[in-house]
Amino acid sequence: MEEHNFFVTYNIDPLAFDRCGLKWETLKEISDNYDTIKTELDFVGKQVLEQILKTPHVHSINYRIKEEEHLIEKIIRKTIQNPSRKIDQNNYKLEITDLTGIRALHLFKEDWIHIHDFIKNNWDFKEQPVAYVRNGDSTRIVDYYRENNCKVLEHPYGYRSVHYVLKTNYNNTEYFVEIQVRTIFEEAWGEIDHAIRYPYHADKELLFRLSSILNRIAGSADELGTYIRYLKSQTEITEYEYSNKINSKNTIIENLKNQIDALEIANDEKSKITETLVQLEKEPISDRGQVKEFPWLDTFMKTPLFKNISSKIEEITNSEQFKPIDVSEDDLKIMQNAQSELFKLLQEPDKLKALFSDKHVSKLLENLGNND
């Protein structure tokens, strides 16, 4: 592309270009050299692509080799921002680290840590990974990234993403591959913002404000997705653990009752012992298993959206759909009778001691203790 047309297309100030010291001839040399290595860059990038697709936490992948014009445009902007930075055909592969770029997209914010660990365990980094955050993100999120050895930066345009620059080698030549990890919602906002505003219309105030609103909506969608997953996980853990423990407990109790019935002791003594099993049946199950870490919930729980959702959940749980479970009269009578017999048995310690010395009872109680 001719120089003047290039500046018009990419909204570059010709005076700023002249002041930064770059020469159009130098950029043409870079472009020509870059054209000779694109095949190797593509090979290296696809190797990384195939590897990262092995982690199930990656939902989808975007992949590209940087176009020549975008490379030249980026070099111009970086040099205008910092005129002391000299980029030429000998060092541009070291200075521009996203010649090969991959975007690994995931559904839920908390899936990032699994992708991060996979990348960390399979490649060496050219530099410390950078986690871009938005103004207003909670300190817990910032600390979470830092605890996982990321450099945290507030992005000027407000998008969230974690960037990695990987070292690769092909034909004894070192190449870099940039991986950007973000959610699908973050990717959607970023693509819209880039198409409409960034970087060629970055100074348009109205576009900036509208894009910021859309950014916040995308962020809320991510947070709401995490909250829905959190509620689902809590429900599944509670139901699974409770069901397993109740079933296990009831099985042991039933076996113990059958063994007691088979003992050669008086029926009234058997009834007294049964009360201990009734008490065991009444004990609550409190262990709900381990809970995953959801650091992105902190910010969400402070929003009006979360407060409205919480209010609705409370309304549902207090409705007719969540009636308390009633104990039948027959079950209540059995419990009362068993309690009465237990108190009688406790007044005869010799008989109680003899019963628990029985090897069958001792074995059953030992199993009961191991499964409680």
Tens of pLDDT, residues 15-71: 999 999 999 999 999 999 999 999 999 999 999 999 999 999 999 999 999 999 999
Q: How far apart are CA 248 and CA 155, in angstroms?
A: 53
pLDDT tens digits, one per residue of 242-263: 677 777 767 767 766 676 666 6
The CATH 3.30.460.10 portion of the chain extends over 3-203
Read off the pLDDT of each residue in 159-183 and give the average, rounded to a whole number: 93
pLDDT at res. 346? 53
Task: Give residue 209's pLDDT band: very low, low, confident or very high (50, 70, 90).
Answer: confident
Residue 244's pLDDT is 74
CA dist., res. 159 & res. 202, Å (int): 14
Nearest alpha carbon to residue 292 among 74, 112, 171 = 112
> What does the alpha-carbon distance between residue 41 and residue 362 come to, in Å, rounded to a whole number?
72
> In whole angstroms, what is the distance from residue 193 CA to residue 209 CA?
11
Question: Can you read off the two tokens belonging to residue 82?
Answer: 């910092």
Spell out where 46-115 has E strands.
60-65, 100-106
Contacts 24+ apart (CB under 8 A), 156-160: 157/193, 157/198, 157/202, 157/211, 158/134, 158/212, 158/215, 159/132, 159/134, 159/186, 159/189, 159/190, 159/193, 159/215, 160/132, 160/133, 160/134, 160/186, 160/219
Total-model pTM? 0.65
Q: What is the CATH number of domain 3-203?
A: 3.30.460.10
Phi, psi angles (nearest 5°) of residue 97: -95, 5
pLDDT over 50 at 287, yes or no: no
Whether residue 277 is predicted with pLDDT greater than 70 in this model: the reply is no
DSSP SS3 for 202: coil
Tokens 């076996």 correspond to: 255
Q: Where are the beta strands (DSSP E) in 95-191?
A: 100-106, 130-133, 151-154, 161-170, 173-183
Burial class (CB in 10 A: 0-12, 13-18, 19+), 202: middle
Query: According to the model, what pLDDT value does residue 358 have?
Result: 64
Residue 100 has pLDDT above 80, yes or no: yes
Question: What whole-number distance in Å separates Cα of residue 248 and Cα of residue 208?
Answer: 60
Rounded to an integer, the average pLDDT of 141-157 is: 91
